[in-house]
Amino acid sequence: MGPAVPLDAMEASAAVFPSLARPLQKYLRVTRQQPWHTAESVLHHLSACLRLGLAPRAFLDRYLSYQPVLQGSREGSVSSWALVSDFSVSRTVGKDTNFLLRNGEVSLYVTVAPLPHFNLTEQVVDPKSNKFTLRLSSETSV
């Protein structure tokens, strides 16, 4: 075994990617998310997670859908929805307001929730000190 060579985040993600590509691709196919996540986008996301020192859960959260996400463009056909409520929703929409949206036989129950507020500060990481070492041994599959 030769000396350990430091890798940048993209090189480290490229080295790890083959071991997680097949199970992730199978999961994305089963959950019908495959069209939105290319191998290149997964690789860049993995690289960002490694570069920022995020936990494995932070990497997976992008692919684990807990809430519906609207995707697509505004182009195409327009569908009409009826808003059903026992009070005027248009003037009193706030936290925990509930109402129903109907389109034919489809009904959506809506609960309004506030968007979180984030106070962000910037921390610059020196790219030369942000290296990874990949050590291979016969005991590991990577």
Supply the pTM of this predicted model: 0.49
pLDDT for 48 equals 85
Residue 63: count of CB within 10 angstroms of its CB: 15
pLDDT tens per residue across span 80-89: 888 888 778 7
Are 55 and 8 contained in the same domain?
A: yes
CA distance 132 to 60: 20
pLDDT tens per residue across span 35-76: 888 999 999 899 888 887 888 888 898 888 655 545 555 555
Per-residue pLDDT at 23 exceeds 90: yes
Q: What is the CB-side half-sphere exposure of residue 26 using CA atoms within 13 A?
A: 4
Are 6 and 55 contained in the same domain?
A: yes
The confidence band for 106, taking pLDDT boundaries of 50, 70 and 90, is confident
Q: Is residue 13 part of a domain?
A: yes
Query: And the tokens for 95?
Result: 């936290």
* pLDDT, mean of residues 19-43: 90
* pLDDT, mean of residues 13-26: 92
pLDDT for 69 equals 47
Per-residue pLDDT at 2 exceeds 70: no
Strand partners, 132: 7
Are 64 and 16 contained in the same domain?
A: yes
Q: Is residue 118 part of a domain?
A: no
For the chain, the domain total comes to: 2
